[in-house]
Amino acid sequence: MTAEPGDELAASAAGRGYLRVSHAEREQVIGTLKAAFVHGMLAKDEFDLRIGEAFASRTYAELAAVTADLPAGLTAAEPPGPSRARGAHPVPRPVRVMAAATGLFVGVQAFVFLSPWPAGNQDDPAPAKIALFLASNRIYLILMLICVAFLIAGRQQRRASGPGETRLLSG
């Protein structure tokens, strides 16, 4: 049999009622009060009053009195986390990658066309300048194709998750 959060606080208050409580223990009690409010066990005014009492509590006995009339098995209310389809992996949003790649590409192109590099034979650009231009174009094209593939995958995942579900997309 495992001890519930309220049981631990009650046992602590019985044995160490005069000892000071930590901020984490106050937060635990506030979580229990939130759960009681969400479940309709507390009115808004009473909830606000008890939150104030929890913050003002200095000892285990004072803190235990705040939740004394609430069920011991009441767990802290946590907001529902984002859900996704079973077995689905989050699809990253490539917007930042696209923005960074475009900025870098523009910088390289400006450098290639505006730099005073020495010209080759018969006023031709230097071979290094040509190689940089071609390499940057290829790399930029590949990055954009990958980003578009991620955009399409994210769109398909949003459609598959349905209108009522929240999607988890890391940015």
Which residue among 16, 47, 66 closes a domain?
A: 66
Q: In terms of pTM, does the model score above 0.85? A: no
Residue 170 domain-assigned?
no
Residue 86 domain-assigned?
no
Same domain, yes or no, for 9 and 51? yes
Tell me the two tokens of residue 78: 């946590």
Does the pLDDT at position 140 exceed 90? yes
The three state secondary structure string of 78-143 is CCCCCCCCCCCCCCCCCHHHHHHHHHHHHHHHHHHHHCCCCCCHHHCCCHHHHHHHHHHHHHHHHH
Residue 157 domain-assigned?
yes
Most confident of 7-11, 81-85, 92-96, 127-131: 127-131
Percent of the chain with pLDDT over 90: 19
Mind listing the pLDDT tens digit for each residue in 63-117? 889 988 888 776 654 555 555 555 656 656 788 888 888 999 999 999 888 877 6
Residue 71 domain-assigned?
no
Note down the domain range covering 123. 95-161
Quote the number of domains for the chain: 2
